[in-house]
A and B are shown apart, each in its own frame.
Chain A
Amino acid sequence: MSLITLPNYKEQSPDVKERFDRLKKRSVKMTVNELYKTFDTKKGPILKNVSFSTYKREFTSVIGPSGCGKSTLIRLVAGLESIDSGSINVSGTEVKKPGIERGMVFQEYTLFPWLTVTENVMYGLLRQNRSKAEAKKEALKWINLVGLDNYQDAYPSQLSGGMKQRVAIARSLATQPEMLLMDEPFGALDAQTRARMQAYLLQIWRNIDISIMFVTHDLDEAVYLSDRIIVLKGNPGEIAEIIEVPISRPRSPEQFLTPEFLATKKRLEALIHRNKEEEAVPVIPTTDLVNEIM
């Protein structure tokens, strides 16, 4: 098992290298510049001096230990929190408040329970002064894209968790934002549904022109989905490292076991659990029962 020698997580195959060269030639989609955020001055800053850029159509993940400020960062980009100092620019415009060029999918289910699936997806479209008929036509297109044709007239309470998040994705995409912000969107789903949702998301992303910023604390998910992973360390939330994922696209679940994948994951683990020895699993003394089942 452990005989596989892992490559350095930075080692890129020629096609991955070529991908990154092309990616970096694209225009910059978002710039985060020396961002600080403090909620409670006694506790100190939650985010400290965070700077990075993402490129057009890039899939960027943000990962880090619980409470390190991932949600805070993505909410700042969404314009749902106020910036203390520093700035965020999306397509050259400074972020001051929420805007339709930045769609967001939340971890909690945020479908409007009094509206049907179609009406939910129409919500953003109707805010853009489109006629009802036009909005409906457009909405159905997106519902079809997430594979929920049969549930157009269902209410959210009739959907499973995975379906709800698919509708939420369709709803955010319908207004054709330039960026899709996702804060642990699959965090509440079971492992199988989660895997299917990841595949869905990659498919959607391949087919439309959108940059994705994706918060997760699942290492596999981050490696599987992303071009680059921004690793935050907690207390205060600072960038520990930005990882370029050395895995070719299109991605498939078989890649989970490739040496590059494992190496990247190992590196992430090392970064995240750097100061966490105290949280190591305690050793429990073995009892006689162990022999019975071993």
Chain B
Amino acid sequence: MAKDYYEFFCPVKIVAGLKALEHVPYELSSHGSSNPLIITDKGVRSVGLVDHVTKAMDAAQVSVAGIYEDVPPDSSTSVVTQCARYYREQGADSIVAIGGGSVIDTAKAVNILVSEGGDDLKAYSGAGNLKRPLKPFFVIPTTAGTGSETTLVSVIKDDDTGTKMPFVSHFLLPDVAVLDPRMTLSLPPKITAATAMDALTHAVEAFTCLAKNPVSDSYATAAIKKISENLVDVLNEPSNVEGRLELAQAATMAGIAFSNSMVGLVHALGHNVGAVAHVPHGVCMSILMPYVLEFNLAERADTIGDLLLHLAGPDVYASIPSTQRAEKAIERIREMKEQVYSICQLPRTLSETGAVQRSDLPKIAQMSLDDASMLLNPIDATYEQALEILQQAF
């Protein structure tokens, strides 16, 4: 079915591959920046990842205005204002975020304050409340999963109310995303697996939900292929540089796909499993994905069947009759989960997380109905259906 209408936008320059970090000084200078503030977290810094970047910059005589390393896993307005103050004190002229989702979201919000002035982050919350470009903004991801380096969204907790405030604007997109295998090489297998399964879910949902379009499809399918071909290899051999780079690129490509085509029911349910039981996001995605695909079969069998080519390769795809491809694609995702489990014990079910109780499920199902990701799922799940999926996944 052809798409009646779609939009696609990704102005992020991707700088990817071996020795990519050494391109950072040139990219900074080409954006008129000579004094960047690095925003990161203590974990990232303690394993020496920030040093890789600063050394490459030192060698090109680029000094940094400072390193802000106090981003917590669940960032909030006070962190953002504190970091913005530090940026101003240090006279920085641009931002380099080095980290995962929370660091990148924080850096996006800091960029709002340091570009627009003031300390009132809330004034910019919501959609379309930024009207002009912000300071030069570079992102160097240290996980291969969230895709935040290519998304126009930041979510920050409001310290006053405890609610999560979204910020949505094209101006939040980074200018440059730098993918260097050195940055993900030391990621432990379990986190590698969870973040890769998040990226796989981004690609699968972008490809199977209502806002899919031909351009985002091409990013999504390429990402799915890279993850299916490389995840198990990387888990077996964590120092596999090529495989690491493939996963990092896949996460970015999946990020481009879902920032244009959005996600669906896996995320609607997973966000709330995370909120209620504090299970890491990628773990939720990995657990729920096959069950939700089965639920979506009724509306999307052909599209899910198309995934098989990218999940299993042309030989398998050609050998399976078209009427069975969708089931086979889901089976293939289950196989991946089993392989990943045997290597690093990534939970396969909600009960295996040890954090979710059966009695939590009704609450999670109820909350999921109000999750915006539900809007673009091919089928609007009812409360009963959402609960049924969670029970299957338990």
Answer yes or no: are A and B bound together in one complex: no
A residues sitting closer than 8 Å to B (CB atoms) are: none
